[in-house]
Every structure is written in C-alpha cells, then in structure tokens.
C-alpha cells in the first residue's frame, strides 16, 4: 500500500502546484454522450472476482476494480487485506461514502492506517465536526511536522471553528523550505477567511513574491487585491501570469470581471473548500510525479469536499485520459459545471478524447459543431485542425488553421505554431509554395524553433534547393534538440539524400538509439547500411521497420527492399547535388518529408494563441 500522506518527497512538486488548465469550447447541447461501460459481472467465483479486481486495478479501471473488490469482500468481510484493497479501490473510483464505511472497519484492524484516518477525518470535516476531524488527522502515526497533508488539514479544521491563530500556528510547523509557497498560500487563505486583513496581506504578498507562476496562487492573490481596493495590482498580477500562460480561461474571466467592476468572491470561502484546495494541490503534484494512484485518490477526496471544483475535475479527467480510461475521462469532463470558465476546455478535450478512442470522424464532427457555434475559438479550431491533419485531411486542415490564424493580431508570435501546422498540411497536400511561405513566416516569428528548422531544412534538401542554408538549419535544429530522434534522423537522411552514406549512418545510428521504435528511422538506417555495404544489417533494420507497423503507404516499399534490396546506383555526370562517389543522389523519399512526430499535438514549448498545446 503506497504512503498517501505525501511526506517530504512531495516538496519538489509543490512549487509546480496547480499550474493546470487549458483553454479550449462547446455549448451544453452539443456535449458528447458517452456511456460508461456497464458494471462488471461479479457473479463468478471468489477467486475469479479477486483476479479480475487485481487486473482492473493494474489497468486503473477504477469502476471495475471497486465492483470486484466489494464483491470479494462480501465473502470474507473481516479480512484486513481485503478491507484495505476494497477501501482504496472505492476511493479511487470516487465512492467516498462507501470508503468511509470501509475506513471505519479498517482502523479496527489497523489503528495506525494513515489513509483511513485521513478519510475519516475528512468525513468529519465535511460535516463541520472540527475536533473529531483533528483527532483522526493526528491518529495516522506520522508526526505532523513531517506530514504536509495532516498539518494543512488540521490547520483548516481550526479555521473552520473560527480559530485563526491555531490554524496559522499549525501551518507554521511546516519548516521545510520546499513547503514555503504552499505554507504561505494556505496561511493567506485562512487569514482572508478570518477577515484578518493585515495577516492575509502579508501572507499573500510573501507567497506571491516566492512564486508568481502558480495559477491558483495568482487567482487567489488577484481576487484578494481586487476585493480590497487594489484593482490595478490585481490586473497587473493577472497580466503578468498571462505572459507565462496566455489566454488561460480562468485568468481571462477574472480579468474581465475585475475590469467590469463586478463583485469578486474569494477563491476559498469555507474550511471545506480550503481542505479541498490542499487535496487538489497534492493530487495535481502527484499526477506530475507519476504517482497516479495517490493523485487519483487526492483528487477524488478534493471533489468529495468541493464537488464543483472544475480545475480538480479537469485534472482528474486528464489523469484518466493518460491512463487510457477514456470513457471515464469523458464522464468526468461532462461533470464540469456549465458556468465554469473551464467548461469549454472540457468540451474540446472530449473531442480530442474521441479521436484517441479511435473515433476520428466522431471527433471531427464534434469539433466542427463547436467551431460552428464559436467560429473565433482558436483552441477548438486548432484541435480540429490537428485531428484533420492526423487523418490526412490536409486541405481541410490547412483551411482550419487559416481560420485560427485569422483570429490573431498581425505579428502575434503565438502564430508560429499554427503556421508550422498549416505548413505541414500544405506540404503534404503538395502545395509547396504555400508551405514554404508558412515555414519561413514561422521562423521569422520564432527563429530558434527546432521543429520548424527541421521541417524546412529537410524539405529544401529533398527538393535540392538552398542546400547550404538547409544544412545549417538541420545542424542548428540538432544542436537545439540533440535528444530528439526525429530531428537527428532528418540530418542523417539529408546526408543520405545527397550521397554522404557514411555520414548518414553515423547520424541515423544515433537517431535509432533515441527513437528505436520508429519505423521510418529504422527504414532510413536500413537504406544507409545497404549503401555502405552492410547488407545483413540493412535487412535487419528493414525487417524491424516492417514489424513496427509503418504507414500503409510505406509498407510496400519496405517489403520490396526486404525481398530485393536497393537497386544499384547509376553513374552520372558531375552536377550540382550529385553524390560524392559520382553516383546520382537517391530519389526522393515517398512522402518527401522528414520523420517527424505528426500526432495531433503541438510541438514542445508551443502554445498557439496562448493555450496549452492540445493533448
């Protein structure tokens, strides 16, 4: 059983607290209706149900795991191990009321079970039983000074009963510098709830000075400043965050409300919401740390206390998506409140999830419905274009990206990503002049983007144009991103195309180490081996490329090379671009494009129009 009270190992994650949320669009009536799988058939044997529960748990199928463990427990209700497994499964599925019952049974068998006591304490805190909640939080066995979860929840229980002084004293037990922002942030929220303006001001300003890149902290700080007459400072803080993550929907909505002079509510109004904020922060941090079970449980408990926290819902849905539980992801996206600034995000993420589920036509239909209602929604447009591009609908994709670009101001540097995507679409649609213009404009806006340098540089080599500049671009791209196998492959394949086969082998062998599972890179290395006389190695790489499920259009050529090898090169007269050995350069690759990641996501580090990249 993992330790879920996140002791010191959580400190590194807390600085990244809550930088979650993407800007994305859809009305209620167009929302996708996705039926969750029916409850599993638990009528089998106890052994069968137990094995099924273990498999479901390993797959993070929380619905099935919870159902199977509950059924197994019926056959052996006093088994402590079964009680604990059923308790954890129920928590991860959001069955918190059932989990409370299992927790009561569990602490009888294991009085020091920290997670069970925490859940029981949260049940008491939900019902405003503050002293009872603290008794549970202190019964888990770990000292509060080492346990950020119990410490902060205890602080919020004091705040709930109106004892700000004891609440702040509890928080100040967190001495580790890694907890400083988290400590001051929650101290500020508690002081604000207690209407202690001097203390809240001091704590908010301290936390904000420590880290002004945290979404929830900036949101709470701006609300506090606006409510206390510092409208300009509130707007300044929001604008500064907008430079880090432009056009975040929650930040934009709050900015609009403050500018319009609307009444501004504090981010946290009750102790229950404060405790939920603690659990959300730890869940978000755990998800980034790769501890999916802990993250899921913390997020479920956060929603137990604050069911309409849209950021927690989005984070939980995203987590389900990463775990390939796509129906569960869509079900959680659908629960984001209609009034939330993140409702649009949830709708577009639903469309993207449909594509991940192997339903691209449904995804395109769904996203087109969004765009029809919100024709200027750049995130919906970008996501639609990405899915169209993935489905090789290059003409429609280019048109969609063009519509997205039309929403941006001239010279907006965020446009480089859309130009890059549209350039790929034009190039694949055999409209090279338009593609070239888009790539060049993208580089004008962002000269050091390795993905654009890679694509344009390779394309020029492939076309035999601007060769000196093209190789400079490719080498610069590799220098900027030396661990990117796709980009290293482009340099190696460009060497191959111009007949430098030994140089190609060197680069392509490095690319294959970086990206061993890519069929195109394996195919390229096979070709380079063949041309350098290593025919056995070439056959191995081609066979490997075949087994890695290449694109259907590429497979016949690979099979032909496995059967017959490459044709001999024909000698040719000296000419620009000829191979160093006097042979003609290789003919163009079938797609005349570098091996790039063409999945429907933005390049690393990009943010079209200020949203985070579509997933």
What is the band of 36 on the pLDDT scale with cuts at 50, 70, 90? low
Give CB contacts under 8 A, 24+ apart, made by 95-101.
95/66, 96/123, 96/300, 96/301, 96/304, 98/66, 98/70
Is residue 612 a part of any domain in this protein? no
Q: Which residue blocks in 269-309 are alpha helix, DSSP H?
A: 271-289, 292-305
Whether the CB-CB separation of 226 and 232 falls below 8 Å is answered with no
CB neighbourhood size of 239 (10 A): 12
Distances (CA, A) of 292 to 85, 272, 299: 16, 24, 10
Query: What does the block give as tokens for 460?
Result: 């020029």
Whether the CB-CB separation of 148 and 6 falls below 8 Å is answered with yes
String of DSSP letters for 443-465: HHH-TT-HHHHHHHHHHHHHHT-
Is residue 596 a part of any domain in this protein? no
What is the band of 593 on the pLDDT scale with cuts at 50, 70, 90? low
Is residue 274 a part of any domain in this protein? no
Q: Identify the CATH number of the domain in which residue 518 sits.
A: 1.25.40.10
Which pTM value belongs to this model? Answer: 0.79
Is residue 525 a part of any domain in this protein? yes
Mean pLDDT across 43-65: 84
Judge whether residue 21 has pLDDT over 70: no
Least confident of 190-194, 246-250, 611-615: 611-615
Question: How do residues 528-576 score in pLDDT, each as one tens digit?
Answer: 999 999 999 999 999 999 999 999 999 999 999 999 999 998 765 333 4
Sign (positive or negative) of CA dihedral 568, 573, 574, 576: negative
Q: CA-based angle 300:302:307, to the nearest 5?
A: 85
What is the band of 595 on the pLDDT scale with cuts at 50, 70, 90? low
Whether the CB-CB separation of 458 and 423 falls below 8 Å is answered with no
pLDDT reported for residue 246? 82
pLDDT reported for residue 597? 56
Domain count, the chain: 1
Q: How far apart are CA 537 and CA 479, in angstroms?
A: 28
What is the band of 289 on the pLDDT scale with cuts at 50, 70, 90? confident
Is residue 36 a part of any domain in this protein? no
pLDDT reported for residue 178? 86
Judge whether residue 3 has pLDDT over 70: no
Least confident of 78-82, 449-453, 478-482: 78-82
Judge whether residue 24 has pLDDT over 80: no
Least confident of 276-280, 536-540, 585-589: 585-589
Judge whether residue 10 has pLDDT over 70: no
Q: How far apart are CA 133 and CA 248, in angstroms?
A: 36
pLDDT reported for residue 106? 95
pLDDT reported for residue 141? 61
Residue 559 lies in domain = 473-567
Is residue 536 a part of any domain in this protein? yes
Is residue 158 a part of any domain in this protein? no
Least confident of 17-21, 204-208, 278-282, 434-438: 17-21
Mean pLDDT across 291-310: 95
Q: How far apart are CA 286 and CA 55, in angstroms?
A: 23
Whether the CB-CB separation of 542 and 526 falls below 8 Å is answered with yes
Judge whether residue 591 has pLDDT over 60: no
Is residue 217 a part of any domain in this protein? no
pLDDT reported for residue 145? 40
Nearest to residue 202, comparing CAs of 218, 193, 191, 216? 191
Judge whether residue 25 has pLDDT over 50: no
Nearest to residue 185, comparing CAs of 117, 292, 282, 297? 282
Least confident of 9-18, 118-127, 387-396: 9-18
């Amino acid at each position: 059983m993992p330790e879920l009270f996140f002791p010191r190992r959580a400190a590194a994650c807390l600085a990244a607290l809550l930088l979650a949320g993407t800007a994305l669009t859809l009305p209620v009536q167009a929302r996708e209706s996705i039926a969750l799988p029916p409850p599993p058939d638990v009528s089998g044997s106890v052994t069968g149900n137990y094995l099924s529960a273990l498999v479901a748990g390993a797959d993070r199928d929380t619905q099935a795991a919870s159902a199977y463990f509950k059924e197994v427990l019926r056959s052996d209700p006093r088994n402590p191990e079964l009680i604990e497994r059923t308790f954890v499964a129920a928590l991860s599925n959001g069955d918190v009321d059932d989990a409370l019952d299992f927790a009561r049974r569990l602490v009888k068998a294991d009085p020091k079970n920290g997670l069970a006591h925490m859940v029981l304490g949260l049940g008491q805190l939900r019902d405003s039983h503050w002293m009872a909640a603290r008794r549970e939080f202190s019964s888990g066995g770990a000292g509060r000074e080492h346990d950020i979860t119990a410490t902060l929840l205890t602080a919020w229980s004091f705040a709930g009963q109106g004892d700000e002084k004891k609440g702040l004293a509890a928080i100040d037990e967190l001495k580790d510098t890694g907890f400083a922002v988290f400590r001051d942030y929650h101290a500020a929220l508690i002081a604000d709830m207690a209407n202690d303006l001097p203390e809240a001001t001091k704590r908010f300003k301290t936390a904000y000075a420590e880290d002004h890149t945290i979404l929830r902290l900036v949101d709470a700080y701006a609300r506090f400043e606006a409510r206390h007459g510092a409208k300009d400072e509130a707007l300044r803080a929001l604008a500064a965050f907008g430079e880090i993550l432009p056009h975040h929907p929650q930040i934009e909505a709050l900015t609009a409300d403050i500018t319009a002079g609307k009444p501004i509510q504090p981010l946290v109004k009750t102790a229950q919401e404060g405790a939920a904020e603690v659990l959300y922060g730890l869940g978000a941090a755990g998800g980034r740390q790769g501890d999916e079970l802990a993250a899921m449980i913390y997020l479920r408990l956060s929603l137990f206390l604050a069911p309409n926290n849209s950021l927690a819902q989005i984070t939980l849905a995203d987590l389900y998506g990463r775990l390939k539980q796509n129906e569960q992801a869509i079900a959680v996206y659908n629960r984001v409140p209609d009034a939330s600034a993140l409702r649009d995000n949830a709708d577009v993420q639903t469309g993207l999830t449909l594509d991940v589920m192997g339903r691209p036509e449904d995804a395109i239909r769904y996203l087109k419905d969004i765009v029809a209602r919100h024709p200027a929604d750049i995130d919906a447009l970008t996501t639609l274009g990405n899915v169209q591009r993935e489905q090789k609908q290059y003409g429609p994709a280019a048109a969609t990206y063009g519509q997205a670009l039309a929403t941006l101001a001239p010279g907006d540097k965020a446009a480089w990503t859309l130009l890059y995507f549209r350039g790929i679409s034009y190039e694949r649609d055999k409209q090279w002049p338009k593609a070239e213009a888009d790539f060049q404009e993208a580089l004008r806006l962002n000269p050091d983007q390795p993905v654009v340098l890679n694509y344009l540089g390779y394309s020029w080599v492939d076309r035999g144009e601007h060769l000196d500049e093209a190789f400079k671009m490719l080498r610069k791209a590799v220098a900027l991103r030396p661990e990117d196998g796709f980009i290293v492959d482009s340099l190696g394949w460009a060497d191959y195309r111009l007949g430098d086969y030994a140089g190609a082998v060197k680069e392509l062998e490095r690319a294959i180490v970086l990206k061993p599972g890519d069929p195109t890179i394996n195919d390229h290395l096979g070709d380079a081996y063949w041309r350098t006389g290593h025919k056995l190695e070439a056959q191995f790489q081609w066979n490997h490329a075949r087994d890695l499920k290449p694109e259907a259009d590429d497979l016949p050529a690979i099979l032909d090379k496995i059967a017959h090898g490459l044709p001999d090169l024909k000698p040719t007269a000296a000419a620009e671009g000829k191979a160093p050995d006097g042979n003609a350069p290789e003919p163009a690759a079938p797609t005349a494009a570098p091996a790039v990641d063409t999945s429907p996501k933005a390049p690393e580090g990009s943010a079209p129009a200020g949203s985070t990249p579509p997933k």
